[in-house]
Structure 1
Amino acid sequence: MRLSDLILPILIGGILFYGLIKGVDIYSEFIEGAFDGAKSAVKILPYIVAIIFAINLFIQSGAEEFIVKTLTPLTSLIGFPPELLSLIIVKPLSGGGSYGVIKTLLDSYGADSYIGRCASVIMGSAETVFYTAAVYYGAVGIKNIRYTIKVGLIAHVASIVAALVVCKYMF
């Protein structure tokens, strides 16, 4: 047995032991925490459903495909593989959707191909900006998100540029 296999049981046991020492009713605190977690899940469910609907609408309407076709000549001109455009477009919208795109890319080109490696770097360096903002701001009731989306998209573009530089010079 490895030490890493013991970390979680030791951590949980330590928390339970600490609670017993402090005289905390561990079971009732656990139930209260689980109840609060369930309330939070119910509270954010409409936001999750709305963002999933919007993402599916974006993809199924052909908007994503239109953007990819429109940008392909430009990306080919600068030496960027157009196969990665779908991943770059879907990643700020949905983690699950981007997982589907990367799975398709890896199945088609292989994990050790240039496209597979670049897709992996992009997947690890970008964030689901719209999904994260919708769910977290929706959960706490924030209506005015101010600069969140703008800054998130700037960070997304910066991460894509950095990922492409890494792909260009490392692979």
Structure 2
Amino acid sequence: LGLDNAATPLGLKAMRELQELNPKKDTATDAMLMFLVLNASGLTLIPIGVMTYRAQMGAANPSDVFLPILIATFMATFVGLLALCIKQRINIFDRVILLWGLGLTAFVGGVFYYFSSLPEEKISSYSAFAANSILFTIIVIFIVAGFVKRINVYDAFIEGAKEGFKTAVMIIPYLVAILVAIGIFRASGAMDYIVEGFATVFGWLGIDTEFVGALPTALMKSLSGSGSRGMMVDAMSAYGVDSFVGRVACTVQGSTDTTFYILAVYFGSVGVRKTRYAVGYALLADVIGAISAITVSYFFFK
């Protein structure tokens, strides 16, 4: 639903359960790697956060990035899943994988077809209503499931809050490390040099470089969710909320999740130090998401 860190508690809980099945506690299992890559690719069905920022900055149609983000995030997740299946020698044509893959493709395709047939003014209201309904439904399902299983939901919530506090304390060193690295990267001016380098290379190749203004969002996305949001807002402020660069930045922001934050926090919470090939495949999903976001933005907004 594009609610950023709202997914973190559920992700940490899932990682702890995967760690219970791990025979080598300091080494990531194949299941953990699949879980991390799927999280890093960040499939976003309704980018409610991005649309909210666009609405706050006065966009004429805050939801005009909805369909481009849906395509870009689906491509990132699909490629990440496919690449990891090949790496882990998972049978892609296994019935369970095939049904889930085709089912997800059909669902995303159906959402795209439905919303593409709506007038622009209805996309925003319909998508916001769907996001709020899904979120409310999830909360109700938790309460109903607790009632059916005769679990005191309030007590379970309190216990979960206690565990969450312990987890927060445990992951502080990893958060400090990643935030310091991000600070050094931004303060050193490395990002400016990288963006200028991309602009020079693409200009030399004869490729339109108008999208380059959105690259800081793409580069920061893998490192910091708040940092990339700041870059997105900067792009909309500098170029205009309804400008091509502003829309590209928003599409990139919604295409994937924050790879290094997820790796540091999720693995750090269970004490996994040997992450194997998690970084490479998670960054592959990031790259595919960014390329897809830029490509579909040219298709929708140029």
State the TM bucket, normalised to the shorter chain: 0.7 to 0.9
CA deviation vs aligned residue, 1:37-63 (integer Å, no higher than 9, x gap): 111111111111111111011110111
Which structure would you say has the larger Rg?
1
Cα deviation, residue 22, structure 1: 5.7
Partner of 2:260: 130
Equivalents in 1 of 2:300, 2:137: separation in Å? 40
CA separation of 1:165 and 1:21: change in aligned 2, threshold 3 A: closer
CA separation of 1:126 and 1:29: change in aligned 2, threshold 3 A: closer
CA separation of 1:83 and 1:35: change in aligned 2, threshold 3 A: same
CA deviation vs aligned residue, 1:91-137 (integer Å, no higher than 9, x gap): 11111111111111101111211111111111111321111111111
Partner of 2:163: 36
SS across alignment from 1:116: helix
Percent identical: 38
2:177 to 32, 47, 50: 50
1:99 aligns with 2:229: yes
CA separation of 1:32 and 1:119: change in aligned 2, threshold 3 A: same
Equivalents in 1 of 2:137, 2:259: separation in Å? 35
SS across alignment from 2:273: coil
Partner of 2:209: 80
Equivalents in 1 of 2:181, 2:251: separation in Å? 26
Moved more, 8-17 or 82-91: 8-17
CA deviation vs aligned residue, 1:8-50 (integer Å, no higher than 9, x gap): 7787677557656765455543332221111111111111111
TM-score, normalising length: structure 1: 0.84
Runs of 4+ in structure 1 off by over 3 angstroms are: 4-30
**Aligned positions, number:** 170
Equivalents in 1 of 2:267, 2:175: separation in Å? 11
Equivalents in 1 of 2:133, 2:282: separation in Å? 37
Gaps of 5+ in 2: 1-128
TM-score, normalising length: structure 2: 0.50
Kept after mapping to 1: 8 A contact 2:215/2:249: no
Root mean square deviation, CA, Å = 2.7
- Give the residue type in structure 1 aligned to 2:184: L
Moved more, 153-162 or 65-74: 65-74
Equivalents in 1 of 2:140, 2:227: separation in Å? 37
CA deviation vs aligned residue, 1:44-88 (integer Å, no higher than 9, x gap): 111111111110111101111221222221133311322122112
Partner of 2:189: 62
Equivalents in 1 of 2:164, 2:141: separation in Å? 22
Moved more, 135-144 or 68-77: 68-77
